[in-house]
Amino acid sequence: MLNFKMSKTKNPKSLYNLCINIAVVDCLTLCKFCKKDFRILPNNVLFDFYYKMYIEDGLWLLGLEYSELEVFSRMLKVKHNRTKLLKSFQSLIKRDSNIMYELIKGYAKLKLHPETINFKTIELGLQLGTFFNEGGWYSYAIQVLDYVEEMCRQMEQTTEVLCKLLECYQKRLQAEATFCMFKEAEKTYNLANLLVIELKQLNALPNLSSLYALFSALFFVRSEYDEAYSWAKNSLLLLKDNLPTRIIVEVLRQASKSCVVKRRFDQAGLLIRQAVSLASKLYKTDEHPSYSDTLIDYGFFLLNFDSIQQSVKVYEKALSIRKDVFDSDNIHVAIGYEDLAYALYVNEYSSGRFNAASENIEAAIKIFERILPKDHLMLASAKRVKALILEEIALDLRDLTNPCSQEELLAESERLHKSALALSHAAFGERNVQTAKHYGNLGRLYQSMMEYEEAEKMHLRAIAIKEELLGPDDYEVALSIGHLASLYNYHMKRHRDAEKLYKRSIEINLRLFGDSYSGLEYDYRGLINVYTELHDIETMLHYTQLMREWKCKRDVQVPIKIYPDSVQPLHVVIQKFFDLC
């Protein structure tokens, strides 16, 4: 056994690394591995030994070690090497290791022996569930946290145990909501609320800012935006400087997303820029997966705020981090590909160059198909993006020697859109924004397929649902109105109807985004065509001039600085947020 005690030297780090290297070489090439001797090492030294084993392609031995819950629980305590642990663990999964099964089986055995159930056991389950959540292995996180709940229920229901149970519900809700397990998430949400009431009666409430942010996240993924925004505000009210920076970042991220879908961009920008600045300082490296999570939400803000090119750059950076940590066959990487594909699709919408968007969405779908059930909502979301891209490629086809290509692409797009609609309907029902979006997508597709009456039905259904849920002046309503106006204008020759819809769309977009918003181009072009067809030259020239003015404003726009570099005091940010309400 090597002696790791450091002697006085000019470069103790090099000596330490040399010792680690020699130990790993001995284990892998000379088969000199004695568990008993190595496991007496401190956690951080043992971690370095295991990570070097991963670097040297000793996954067969690393898998055996990490499959033992006692060993892996020690690795979970080495916080400063979390990224390396996620990276090596993902490699074990990719190698078809049964490591997940062994760890969960090891933890499940603990609940069979009541004498072993204590706070240490509960904390281990929470740490394991947290790690699985971080890696995107949500179904495994849920299994572990189910066991944690059982153990908490078996213990005396002290305030300390109830607080641990609430933490368990919080982590499980994160997994269920993110993994689109909405029925299970609703149950956990209700249990958590009941427990909050019980703890309040006992005067033992912990800080609920993080929990309320997860409540907001649940309503966000269910497209119930008013509730998401309300819970986000509640979470911000409870946010304190003495909370861990990681929690502050998570709360700010979720609150920003809730503001984006409510089109409260001043509030959203304030929060997400603070989150990005805090995350960059907290993780001190742009290679941490949690930093990529923050960038994904920042990209979401930029894309919706009409800073499309900047959003592409941010999504590219986030995906690069995720690929470096998780390589492939991981849900975080697939989501990164999908988000980037959609941003590229929007960015190149007017150019017709969809190769990069197509490549990224295909990469996302391939990963989802390998790791998800075929009817999973995440896979349906990716296929929706693919359908949008296929439709545009079909419309831009110039190869007249193969007239069937366009029909085949549109037919494939229709199949994907219908599949996504069916899954959305099953998950959310008819009265949901996501379901309405799918109707709108089908409306655009049928317009491309020259099935105009069917297209009108889809657009009207989308508008009705969106108006009922979001009100008549929401961006989503304007989007669907603009699509219906296009149908009336260019295909059904109902120019007066198109005129009213275009003007309504312009009014909404001007109020939400201002007079340099990119989407105004389509409305202005539409009205120019309407008045040309109606032989109203004076009004046509008026909108032609507005179009020129719009283009000038777009050309002189100063790009926003992508990465913010200043951190404001938290109380200042919170005060500014509520001043904007």
Residue 90 has a pLDDT of 95
Which residue stretches of the chain have pLDDT < 50?
1-9, 399-400
Residue 36 has a pLDDT of 63
Which pair of structure tokens corresponds to residue 306?
């009409």
Spatial CA neighbour of 40 closest among 16, 12, 74, 80: 74
Spatial CA neighbour of 165 closest among 117, 133, 110: 117
Taking residue 16's Cβ as centre, other Cβ atoms within 10 Å add up to: 15
Collapse the DSSP code of 537 into the 3-class scheme (helix H, G, I; strand E, B; otherwise coil) and give the result.
helix
pTM: 0.92
Residue 6 has a pLDDT of 43
Residue 560 has a pLDDT of 64
CA distances from 454 to 383, 449, 479 (A): 22, 10, 18
Residues in the chain, total: 581
Query: What does the alpha-carbon distance between residue 513 and residue 176 come to, in Å, rounded to a whole number?
Result: 34
Which pair of structure tokens corresponds to residue 502?
């275009």
Residue 95 has a pLDDT of 84
Collapse the DSSP code of 292 into the 3-class scheme (helix H, G, I; strand E, B; otherwise coil) and give the result.
helix
Residue 16 has a pLDDT of 67
Query: What does the alpha-carbon distance between residue 352 and residue 367 come to, in Å, rounded to a whole number?
Result: 26
Handedness of CA 406, 409, 415, 420 (dihedral sign): negative
Query: What does the alpha-carbon distance between residue 348 and residue 361 come to, in Å, rounded to a whole number?
Result: 14
The arrangement of secondary structure in 429-555, i.e. its CATH architecture, is Alpha Horseshoe (1.25)
Phi and psi at 77, nearest 5°, equal -85, -10
